[in-house]
Amino acid sequence: MNWKKFFIAFVAAFGFIFLFGFLWYGKLMNGAHQEVPILWRTDADFGNHFSALVFGHIVMAFFLTLVCGRFVPAGGAGACATLAILIALIYAGADLITFAVQPLTTKILCGWIAGDLIQFAIAGAIIGALYKSESRMTT
């Protein structure tokens, strides 16, 4: 594994995932989320748990990069995006289960599933484009 390229891909993936999450879930879906305010922490409480959000995104980006780096060692935006979309479907399955047990609206459910698919597909493509093994680079 090329750790320098891995690190660059990880940082780029983290930057994208965090920014996308803020825009999609925090801004674009804010109105939908506010339809069920009982489900969310207050602003002050969210501020106290912000480190968990950052750490969670670091873990997600790191392991998505690791999965792509390990299972698609030659890199490539298309192959990594394909793998990332399959991973996003696992999260979509978890979203469906959450919908069944928590009082989410269908608008939130659809937004989360669409967000997962877009976020992972682009993050996977970024990782695949940045991470290329030595063998791929020399051919």
Partner 1 sequence: MKRFVFAFIAAYAFIFLWGWLLNGVFLKDVYAQTPNLWRSQSEMMSLFHWIIIGQALIVFSFVMIYATGFAGGGVIAGIRLGVLLEIAAIGMRLGFYAVQPFPGKLVLYGSIGGLVEMIIVGAIVGAIYKPAGPRTP
Contact residues: partner 1, CB under 8 A: 21, 38-41, 45-46, 49-50, 52-53, 55-64, 66-67, 70-72, 74, 76, 79, 82-83, 86-87, 89-97, 99-103, 136
Q: Which residue, 4 or 97, is less far from partner 1 as judged by CB?
A: 97
> HSE (CB half, 13 Å, CA atoms) of 13?
34
* Close Cβ partners of 81 (under 8 Å, ≥ 6 residues apart): 121, 122, 124, 125, 128
Q: Which residue, 8 or 66, is less far from partner 1 as judged by CB?
A: 66
Q: How far is the CB of 56 from partner 1 (least distance, A)?
A: 3
> HSE (CB half, 13 Å, CA atoms) of 129?
10
Q: How far is the CB of 94 from partner 1 (least distance, A)?
A: 7
Instruction: Count Cβ atoms below 10 Å from residue 120 Cβ, excluding itself.
Output: 27
Q: How far is the CB of 130 from partner 1 (least distance, A)?
A: 16
Q: How far is the CB of 23 from partner 1 (least distance, A)?
A: 15
What is the rounded CA–CA span in Å between residue 91 and residue 139?
36
